[in-house]
Amino acid sequence: MELKDLVPAEGSTKARKRVGRGPASGTGKTAGRGMNGQKSRSGGGKGAGFEGGQTPLARRLPKLPGFRNPNRVDYLAVNVSRLDAKFEAGETVDADTLYAKGITKHTTDLVKVLGDGELTKSLTVKVDKVSASAKAKIEAAGGKVEEQC
pTM beyond 0.85: no
Q: What is the pLDDT of residue 149?
A: 52
- Averaged pLDDT of the chain: 93
Residue 145 — pLDDT band, cuts 50, 70, 90?
very high
- Do residues 86 and 125 touch, judged by C-beta distance below 8 A? no
What pLDDT is stored for residue 126 in this prediction? 95
Contact 86, 49 (CB under 8 A): no
DSSP3 helix / strand / coil % (the chain, rounded to 5): 25, 10, 65
| pLDDT given for residue 64 in this prediction | 86
Main-chain dihedrals φ then ψ at residue 94, nearest 5 degrees:
-140, -175
DSSP state of 114: E
| Band (147; pLDDT cuts 50, 70, 90) | confident
pLDDT, tens digit, for every residue of 52-109?
999 999 999 988 888 889 999 999 999 999 999 999 999 999 999 999 999 999 999 9
